Amino acid sequence: MALSVNAAEVTLWEGEYTISGWTNGAEIAVDKVKAGDILTYTFTEAGADGAQVLIKGSDWNNMLGTAKINRTDMATGAVTVGVTQEMIDNCGGQFFLSGDGNCVCTKITKTGEFDAKGVAAYGARVPGVSVFTVIPEGTAKVAVEFDAVPEWAQLCDKNWAGKEFPSEASNEGKTVTYTITPEFVTAVAADKEFIINCTGANVVKVYYPSDTGSGIAGIAAENKVVNVYDLAGRVVRHNVESANAVNGLAKGIYIVNGKKVLVK
């Protein structure tokens, strides 16, 4: 996780905001931050069971580019929120906290920076977290970085229906990359929300990995054993060498190692 810590924290807001009844408070003007800033929200009270907090913009909708904050998150005393470009583009000039449960926020500070390119949401959250976003059209992969190796993890729609997308874990196991479908991209665009559920770890970052190579040439250069899927997510070939992954397949588009490959 690319992260740098400022030599001195910058206080953006300070007070005592009791979050209840879905009012608004702890406002920050957008010109005080930029995409890539890490904000730390200090909570002195986590509130009652079921307490939750959302970041909202001037239109009062759930702020795109953020993730829900629940009682367990607030009980740590400090909740990090990475400022994404989607937040900047959709806040309408300011963003603020709204929620319920009598939790108390007392301070917001700018505490560091991260690489915001392709990031949908940033900041430690417990499992079952809602990510509010619109996945860019044409996106084939969603990656989730955890603070530990999850026992299992899945993407869900806003109704908590699990989506069994093909996935691949990083070498250390803390990042899981899912190959999603165009239908999922369309559904998220309509709902502006999807859920990450898991056990044994917390979510740290959700992002769209950039392709380092396109087509089978880039995949073959990685020289690894891969699975091949069709666009419906069905396994076409299992545990084949990347250099020969699509040899002899019928014309069409396949997913190999999270990348779309055209067979002519």
Same domain, yes or no, for 189 and 144? yes
Looking at the DSSP assignment, which residues form a beta bridge with residue 163? 155
Same domain, yes or no, for 158 and 82? no
Q: Where is pLDDT greater, at 64 or 252?
A: 64
CB 208 within 8 A of CB 134: no
For the residues 61-88, what does the mean pLDDT come to?
97
6 has pLDDT over 80:
no
Residue 230 binned pLDDT confidence (cut-offs 50, 70, 90): confident
Q: What is the structure's pLDDT at 81?
A: 98
The predicted model scores a pTM of: 0.78
Q: To the nearest 5 percent, what fractions of the chain are helix, strand and coil?
A: 10, 50, 40
Q: What is the structure's pLDDT at 15?
A: 97
Q: What is the structure's pLDDT at 223?
A: 55
Q: Which of 98, 118, 138 is the last residue of a domain?
A: 118
Same domain, yes or no, for 163 and 90? no
Same domain, yes or no, for 181 and 227? no
Same domain, yes or no, for 2 and 110? yes
Q: What are the tokens at 256?
A: 């190999």
Same domain, yes or no, for 55 and 151? no
Share of the chain above pLDDT 70, in %: 91
For the residues 92-98, what does the mean pLDDT come to?
97
Neighbours of 248 (CB within 10 A): 7
Angle at 245 between CA 243 and CA 250, to 5 degrees: 130
Tens of pLDDT, residue by residue over 18-45, are 999 999 999 999 999 999 999 999 999 9
| Overall number of domains in the chain | 3
212 has pLDDT over 50:
no
Domain span at residue 200 reads 127-210
217 has pLDDT over 80:
no
Q: What is the structure's pLDDT at 207?
A: 97
Tens of pLDDT, residue by residue over 136-162, are 988 999 999 999 999 999 999 999 999
Q: What are phi and psi of 186, to 5 degrees?
A: -65, -40
Rounded distance, CA 117 to CA 109, Å? 22
219 has pLDDT over 60:
no
SS (H, E, C) 70-129: EHHHHCCCEEEEECCHHHHHHCCCEEEEEEECCEEEEEEEEEEEECCCCEEEEEEECCCE
Tens of pLDDT, residue by residue over 114-138, are 999 999 999 999 999 999 999 998 8
What's the whole-number average pLDDT of the chain? Answer: 90
Q: What is the structure's pLDDT at 185?
A: 94
Rounded distance, CA 72 to CA 49, Å? 9
Q: Which of 73, 92, 118 is the last residue of a domain?
A: 118
Same domain, yes or no, for 256 and 176? no
Run of H or E including 8: strand 3-19
